[in-house]
Amino acid sequence: MSAEVFTGSFTQQEPIPDEGIAAANAVMRSGRLHRYNTAPGETAETVLLEQEFAAQVGAKYCLAVASGGYAMATALRALGVKPGDRVLTNAFTLAPVPGAIAAVGAVPVFVGVSDQLVIDLEDLAAKQGEAKVLLLSHMRGHLCDMEALMTLCNEAGIAVIEDCAHTMGAAWKGVPSGTQGRIGCYSCQTYKHVNSGEGGLLVTDDAEVAARAIMLSGSYMLYEKHLAGPPPETFAQIRYETPNISGRMDNLRAAILRPQLRNLAEQRERWNERYRKIEAGLRGTPGLTLIARPEAESYVGSSIQFLLKDWSGEAVQQVLRRSAERGVELKWFGAPEPVGFTSRYDSWRYVDTPPMPRSDAVLAGIIDMRVPLTFSLEDCGLIARIIRAEVGAVYQATQDENSG
């Protein structure tokens, strides 16, 4: 019998819902794509999106912007981070996170990753004196113990910005991701939980932060058009003091996003069905460690990770190669060179960072796989069988070598 092969695509998203296409067409027909270009009595799609997203996560204020990276840099600026300031962030995250810190001329201070793939709270406690802001990345959708983290940061006087690029729709003990820190930042880029190609959202309950973010994004003194923004009085001084660093969202993207946000809870269930199918298929594979998901965490399983703990780099490479030959694309965070999306703290050489051996040991074993909604449950079962077989085969061979 020949080995099963998966022939689907790991990067194919679902189409934009018909409702979003119709709304986008209406915006294009109107010609009023710029968020401040409205007809009398009209409320821009961008403004409606902000109101709806604020209500969805239970935040007071929301601003739609050009990208998740822009949202993070804006959040840092809105908190007053200046060139040369140090900002705590995750060693295990993707390049736009330290990039946002670098964008404001600040310096990332990396905090280690635990074997649950979340920020290492012990390492955070050890570094708490080094910065006044933490840009916390919920990398690949894994939430740390948010209560413990917030207690630590509140006691240390550290303002938390949450990077929710992978946790839009997720929650910790029912609290939506992005609403525990001072500011929550989301991405609407194609590979995220809603897709407008590019785009970002920023939420906060802090009126001054919201006002600064609105001014920063390029509001040309039209801030009163922001119905999910703070009252005009908040802008009294801020409007003179805040530079315009344009990065607005447009009505076309907003029109595409609104129906997707309305479907988010349903999409989360579809993602999680797929995630659980793959997880169940991988459970018990020799040499492979699944990541336990805490009770308190409601996640969105748009990707799955597992660990090949203490494996040699060569054996991991064999798994990647053999899986790829059968159509399964796995990413590895332990590779000596960054490939595609998988860079890590020591790839960002514009930051002078001491080695982090405990994190290196975790990173060396992290395998990551996208789970797009275009996969059927049968696809997920097949993918799990392929990974199980290939991990099992390589693991068995290394065991035999060691005992031989």
Q: C-beta of 72: minimal distance to ligand PLP in Å? A: 7
- Tell me, residue by residue from 137 to 166, as one string, x for binding to ligand PLP by CB under 6 A and - for no binding: x-x-----------------------x-xx
Q: Which of residues 46, 167, 187, 305 is near ligand PLP by CB under 6 A?
A: 187
Q: What is the DSSP letter of 177?
A: T
Q: Is 94 in the site for ligand PLP (CB under 6 A)?
A: yes
Q: Which of 204, 99, 217 is nearest to 161 (CA)?
A: 204
Q: Would you call 278 helix, strand, or coil by DSSP?
A: helix
Cβ closest to ligand PLP, residue 220 vs residue 341:
341
> Which is nearer to ligand PLP, 137 or 305 (by Cβ)?
137
For residues 101 and 132, is the Cβ–Cβ distance under 8 A?
Answer: no
What residues contact 178, with CB distance under 8 A and at least 6 apart?
A: 57, 59, 162, 164, 167, 168, 184, 185, 186, 203
User: Is 260 a residue that touches ligand PLP (CB under 6 A)?
Assistant: no
Nearer to ligand PLP, 68 or 178 (CB): 68
- Cβ-based nearer residue to ligand PLP, 98 or 287: 98
Out of 68, 108, 287, 365, the only residue in the binding site for ligand PLP (CB under 6 A) is 68
Beta strands in 103-258 (DSSP E): 107-111, 133-137, 159-163, 171-172, 175-176, 183-187, 200-204
Instruction: Count other Cβ atoms within 10 Å, centred on residue 204.
Output: 28
Under the binding rule (CB under 6 A), the answer on residue 69 touching ligand PLP is: yes
Q: Which is nearer to ligand PLP, 162 or 206 (CB)?
A: 162
CB of 93 to ligand PLP, least distance (A): 5
What span, in angstroms and rounded, lies between the C-alpha atoms of 164 and 148?
Answer: 18
Instruction: Report d(CA 99, CA 103) in Å as an integer.
Output: 6
Minimum CB–partner distance for residue 161 and ligand PLP (Å) = 11
With contact defined as beta carbons under 8 Å apart, do 58 and 223 qualify?
A: no
Among 23, 97, 201, 211, which residue interacts with ligand PLP (rule: CB under 6 A)? 97
Which residues contact ligand PLP by CB under 6 A?
Answer: 67-69, 93-94, 96-97, 137, 139, 163, 165-166, 187, 189, 200
